[in-house]
Amino acid sequence: MCEGGINTGQMKLAVAMINDSLALSQQHLEQLHHLADHGRRSATSAQLAQVTVLLGEAREKLDSAVADLAITDDDDVTVERL
């Protein structure tokens, strides 16, 4: 990978796997948020809701990072074998 640059296909797959993991965590936290809310634990519910939002923002950043992996003609990439 270092000699020939970055394998963007592998990078996209790795980021997608992490994004899927965060999505699952986000779903679990959403369920816990509702359980805490129904159990009258408002402080815990609020904290869990905030974490859920932050995970959503992290997932958006991952999507943006994958979009930025696209190679353009403006990239000044040179490979020199030693």
**pLDDT, tens digit (0-9, with 9 covering 90-100), for 10-68:** 889 999 999 999 999 999 999 999 999 999 999 999 999 999 999 999 999 999 998 88
pLDDT of residue 6: 72
Rounded CA-CA distance 2/38 in Å is 52
Residue 58 in tokens = 């992290």
**Residue 49 backbone phi and psi in degrees, to 5:** -65, -40
